[in-house]
Amino acid sequence: MTHTSEPASGENRDAKGNHRKSMAEKREHGKDIAVRGKGMHRRKFLGGMAGAGIAAVVGAGTTFSLLSGAAKNKASAADSTLVIPDLLEGTTTDSTTTFTLEAKTGTAEVLSGVTSDTMGYNQSFLGPTMKWTNGDTVLLNITNSLGADTTVHFHGAHVPAKMDGGPQVAFSDGTTWSPTFTVKDPATTLWYHPHALGTTAKQAVHGLAGMIIVEDSTDATAALPSDYGVDDVPLIFQCLAVDSAGDIKYDLTGYLSSGLSYPLLLNGTNVDSTTLGFTATKTRTRFRALNASPSDIITIQRSDGGTLTQISTDQGYLTEATDVTTIRLVAGARAEFTMDLSADATLQAVVTTGWVRGGSGTYDVLAITASGTDTPDDLPSTLNTIDRYDTSDFTARTITLGQSGTTMLINGSAGTSMSSMAMISTTVGAKEVWTIKNSTQLEHSFHLHDVPYQLISINGETPTGVELGWYDTYEVVGGGSIEIAMEFTDFSDDTYMYMLHCHLLQHEDEGMMAALMVTDS
Ligand code: C2O
Ligand code: CU
């Protein structure tokens, strides 16, 4: 992995606070990015998107204002404020919390100065954040207004197969799907996105993605920041491929067309030549990072090389807070980290291509102004208890990620239809260790639905540090392999299946997906 080192925020800017064009030129494959007229268009875009942000922020009880924002603060290099996705209010009756979502089409400025056709949940691009509480029952009424079939998958959630939003539960335009389940996940960061056969990449890259925060009321980590948009901040990264007309690409034909740019978005705002601002009113801030890119890898780091305190992986807290200098997220992965901010800091995203021609480069994405005066308590010394699996009596399987030309395979089968995909059959109570073998030279991101997994080995090496956490999405490099272990604790069904697949969405649509049937033993 090559790290291009970028000067600290503010050192590479013109009088308007924009990065100089050299940043765009550094991108290996990206075409030059239109800078002319950008300010005006960007403001227009924020006008459309920011309403939700204001509502969420004001609702969270702060005087933080998008209009005063970081631009006035000379310590910050930001020229507009981080948009916080709206928090979706649920209504609770008879101990069931009901959320209403509508998948719909719209337009947004993905590439500065250009209007793209997009999709979103309840808005024109991306979706609101949902908060679920462990032990509660949730009901979602999701209406499809896309003009095409869709599903909504709760990525990382431990729910019955019928409620999981896989391809078997696709629902058509004009209809409403209403899954309901008890939240069994621990405190963690999940997300939701479409999962219909062959259209996942198209729908997700156009904006159908949102965050889910699971809270646990009995959680020993209650001392961690949890005031949404104030000291608990979502960071949704997307590196897309867009032509100069703003058409967002999602398949091989599109990716091979000429004149593409690879814009990086943070919470829906283009950060190619803009650094967003966030004012930390509390000394300690928690960030929840999600890589919602179709394929590229996002590595988060500080511009000053300092540490981030990672507290969780995909599937919940680490045993203890762990200082790291980088957090590498493959497509679909999440991580949470905290920063104790006694001075301003800038977060960078390093984009590493996940496929033949994706994005690349280092971006100053978020300039954080430290304005907290409080002294936070020490972080809890133990965040979680993770019993490492002893896999000696686990059932072993090999899952081979393969390819035949442009058709992607799992165990030799292309999962482009329910009848053609490979099927793994197991039973409730089974404990298994899987070797995920990448027989291609391409990068893959291995995602398993239903249950979390532990990493047993990574390319033959024993995991250490944050690799000892719980995952649902992990990198499998070209020619490499990982061993993962999991336990199928509950939820049997002999009709509805879970999926396991590459989270490079183009690969998933091209067949790198298999089914998992969990039946009663
Ligand atoms: Cu995030 Cu099967 O998907
Ligand atoms: Cu892949």
Name the maximum alpha-carbon separation found in the chain.
68
What pLDDT does 521 receive? 82
β-bridge partners, 513:
501
Tell me the CA distances in angstroms from 74 to 71, 316, 367, one per residue in order.
7, 37, 11
Residues 99-125 pLDDT 10s: 999 999 999 999 989 999 999 999 999
CA of 154 from ligand 1 middle (Å) equals: 8
Residues 130-175 pLDDT 10s: 999 999 999 999 999 999 999 999 999 999 999 999 999 999 999 9
CA of 420 from ligand 2 middle (Å) equals: 18
Q: What atom of ligand 1 comes closest to residue 332's alpha carbon?
A: 1
Residues 425-445 pLDDT 10s: 999 999 999 999 999 999 999
The residue whose two tokens read 């100089």 is: 20
CA of 110 from ligand 2 middle (Å) equals: 24
pLDDT band at 357 (very low <50, low <70, confident <90, very high): low
Residue type, 215: E
Kindly report the average pLDDT of the chain as a whole number.
86
Q: How far is CA 354 from the centre of its chain?
A: 15
The H or E element spanning position 205 is helix 200-205
What pLDDT does 356 receive? 60
pTM here is 0.86
CA of 153 from ligand 1 middle (Å) equals: 7
Q: What atom of ligand 1 comes closest to residue 166's alpha carbon?
A: 2
Closest CA to 211 of 138, 151, 130: 130
Q: How many CB atoms lie within 10 A of CB 391?
A: 16
Closest CA to 119 of 173, 39, 180: 173
Residue predicted with more confidence, 8 or 326: 326
Atom 3 in ligand 1: residue holding the nearest Cα: 155
Reduce the secondary structure of 277-315 to three states and give it as a string. EEEECCCEEEEEEEECCCCCEEEEEECCCCCEEEEEECC
- How far apart are alpha carbons 277 and 286 in whole angstroms? 15
pLDDT band at 74 (very low <50, low <70, confident <90, very high): very low
Q: Is the pLDDT of residue 26 over 70?
A: no
Closest CA to 324 of 349, 299, 360: 299
Which residues does 182 contact at the CB level (< 8 Å), separation at least 6?
135, 136, 137
Q: What atom of ligand 1 comes closest to residue 191's alpha carbon?
A: 1
Assigned token pair, 139: 């009901």
Sheet containing 444-448: order of strands: 423-427, 513-519, 498-502, 444-448, 473-476
- Ligand 1 contact, 193 CB (< 6 A): yes
Which phi and psi (to 5°) does residue 167 adopt? -60, -25
Ordered domains of the chain (ranges, CATH): 11-76+226-370 (2.60.40.420), 85-217 (2.60.40.420), 391-519 (2.60.40.420)
Assigned token pair, 94: 């008879």
What pLDDT does 212 receive? 98
Number of H helices, E strands in the chain: 5, 34
β-bridge partners, 278:
368
- Ligand 1 contact, 202 CB (< 6 A): no
- How far apart are alpha carbons 440 and 404 in whole angstroms? 9
pLDDT band at 94 (very low <50, low <70, confident <90, very high): confident
Residues 471-483 pLDDT 10s: 999 999 999 999 9
Closest CA to 394 of 350, 456, 311: 456
Q: Assess contact for 264 and 362: CB atoms under 8 A.
A: no
- Give the mean pLDDT of 224-244: 96
Sheet containing 308-313: order of strands: 269-270, 264-266, 232-239, 284-291, 334-340, 308-313, 316-324
CA of 346 from ligand 2 middle (Å) equals: 31
Q: What atom of ligand 1 comes closest to residue 499's alpha carbon?
A: 2
